[in-house]
């Protein structure tokens, strides 16, 4: 009888642990998405952005959730807001460290 009680308490502890881990990870994901949405809403013409795939371009126009991005002298593409990964900063290296 004691083995069954021990097994049940282990199962309860395991379920609580998994529940806490799911809560913590979803909270972090929501926070990152909120920060990303803040960045997207603050974008203006002339801002340099990094697109999915690592393409860097300059915003030349936008409407609703579509952005027109200039990626070379004669090339403009239209991307959804989900296609923008981050704002490109010239003074930050690939490791995220600010250059002097």
Tens of pLDDT, residues 59-85 = 999 988 899 999 999 999 999 988 998
Average pLDDT over residues 6-28: 87
- Residue 25 pLDDT: 85
What mean pLDDT, rounded, does the chain reach? Answer: 84
User: Topology of domain 44-100, per CATH?
Assistant: SH3 type barrels. (2.30.30)
Q: For the chain, give every domain's residue range.
A: 1-42, 44-100
For residues 28 and 61, which has the higher predicted lDDT (pLDDT)?
61
pTM over 0.75: no
Please determine, for residue 36, whether its predicted confidence score (pLDDT) is greater than 90. Answer: no
Helix then strand then coil, % of the chain, to nearest 5: 45, 30, 25
| Closest residue by Cα to residue 71 from 61, 58, 82 | 58
- Residue 91 pLDDT: 62
Please determine, for residue 20, whether its predicted confidence score (pLDDT) is greater than 70. Answer: yes
Question: CA–CA separation, 57 vs 87, rounded Å?
Answer: 10
């Amino acid at each position: 009888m004691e083995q069954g009680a021990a097994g049940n308490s282990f199962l309860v502890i395991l379920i609580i642990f998994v529940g806490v881990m799911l809560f913590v990870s979803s909270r972090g994901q929501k926070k990152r998405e909120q920060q990303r949405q803040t960045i997207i809403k603050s974008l203006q013409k002339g801002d340099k952005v990094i697109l999915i795939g690592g393409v860097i371009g300059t915003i030349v126009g936008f409407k609703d959730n579509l952005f027109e991005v200039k990626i070379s002298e004669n090339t403009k593409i239209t991307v959804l807001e989900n296609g923008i990964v981050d704002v490109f900063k010239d003074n930050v290296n690939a490791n995220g460290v600010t250059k002097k």
